[in-house]
Amino acid sequence: MNVPIQSACLAALLGAALSASAAGAARPNVLFIAIDDQNDWIGPLGGHRLVKTPHLDRLAQRGTTFLNAHVQSPLCNPSRTSLLLGLRTTTTGIYGLAPWFRNVDALRDRVTLPQHFKAHGYTTYTTGKIFHGNPGGPAKRAAEFDVWGPAGGIGAKPPQKLIPPTPMGNHPLMDWGCFPHRDEEKGDWQITTWAAERLRAMPREQPFFLAVGYFLPHVPCYATQKWFDLYPDDDSVLPPLRDDDRADTPRAAWYLHWDLPEPRLAWMRENGQLRNLVRSYLACTSFMDAQIGRLLEALDAAGLAENTVVVVWGDNGYHLGEKAITGKNTLWERATRVPLIFAGPGVARGARCTRPAELLDLYPTLVDLCGLPPRADLEGVSLCAQLADAAAPRARPAVTSHNPGNHAVRSERYRYIRYADSSEEFYDLHADPNEWTNLSGDSAYAAQIAEHRRWLPAHDSPHAPGSAHRILTYDAATDQAVWEDRITIRRCDPVP
């Protein structure tokens, strides 16, 4: 799987130098838009009946929306690493918030998606959060992208947290609400301004790959009053919840989020914060949507829209009370289903695809759409067939993994989950979209469960050297799990 950057890039750049102008004229540009912690609460996905995302709605009308797109990991670093390298987390061994993949010997020279475009004549730009973390100094940054814009991030902050101290450490990111500030002070506004300026100045003869990574609606979910005013301050904003939502789920499901800063549903209710968080998340989603609108307006104004492939994707979903938690780090729909919208050359307009799709598929799909040489070492498959015809068949489901031995398999109708201790869940999403009824013990579904089991990864790479933060191991011999190398979890231990 390991392809040296130097040889791949050198050969490609030599070829590009011979015919740069011809390649520039023939190949479309790429506008690559990432959203942090965005679940399916956007208009095109219909995850929340009140959400207002008019700009994503319009983009969906221009292109194809994947209604059943899923991440390879429900956590930022492994999800983004998988997408950008074209490898599953079970191949990379990166399951936690560390390490940075260039610090892993087996991945040190792996050619990323933007590097592949750079090697074939594109100028690459980035701003905001694309990688999880900073690659390092100027030389390391230049190896990943040609031009770097502002880092973005939170932007303006209140003088102190807006919510009460939260359990498990009162993490500074665990905050949300409204305080006096201006939209222009937010990191997402600033990266949009920079990216829009780049679009207006783009040379027409040179193809570009522009990556823009939005921070919101990641916590802390701060928004100005105008965005809160879009949503009623009452319980109509809450998602469907059941007090017994975990009654038929395996104990091993708790192990995936055993000791995390994101508060449990019980704490949210006791402290009167559930509605506040949901409303804050919705407000931040609408603000983020408005920034994408500014970006697309700049693309149109620059006369580049007709020859630019636009793709919008989210790195993982987010629970807001469902399954008794907030946050990600689960193998359920709310944590794995994310936005995936394409528009531009080679993409059908106004199409909605229900076939399973994986973020892993972005690398081969963009290579395919832009006519670049294909790579034989990618684990995703091109979605170009579905971009041309949303009803085109797809043989395989979407697979999400979260630490070795814990996997979800999502087909067009069903979700199958298997944990490291061999416990299982199975849901019929057509009949039970909230995943309230675990059918794994129902013999009527034995054939469907067996079919989904065969898609489980054949190999789980162990944690890569330097793995840390949100990592979990399980020892079948002792029936004990270890959380972040610091907490041993026994079967009889109370759930925190």
Query: Catalytic amino acids?
Result: 76, 132
Query: Can you tell me the distance from the alpha carbon of 328 to that of 145, in angstroms, rounded to the nearest whole number?
Result: 29
Q: Report the greatest alpha carbon distance in the chain.
A: 67
Question: Are 218 and 36 within 8 A, CB to CB?
Answer: yes
Among residues 426, 417, 419, 425, the alpha carbon closest in space to that of 405 is found at 419
| Sign of the C-alpha dihedral computed for residues 228, 230, 235 and 240 taken in this order | negative
Query: Can you tell me the distance from the alpha carbon of 75 to that of 402, in angstroms, rounded to the nearest whole number?
Result: 8
How many CA atoms, within 13 angstroms, populate the side-chain half-sphere of residue 460?
18
User: What type of residue is 125?
Assistant: Y
Among residues 32, 33, 16, the alpha carbon closest in space to that of 24 is found at 16
Question: Are 390 and 348 within 8 A, CB to CB?
Answer: yes
**CB neighbours of residue 407 within 10 Å:** 23
Query: Can you tell me the distance from the alpha carbon of 329 to that of 264, in angstroms, rounded to the nearest whole number?
Result: 13
Cα 49 to the chain's mean position, in Å? Answer: 21
Between the alpha carbon of residue 200 and those of residues 13, 32, 388, the distances in Å are 26, 16, 29
Output the CA torsion 372→376→379→381 (10° steps).
50
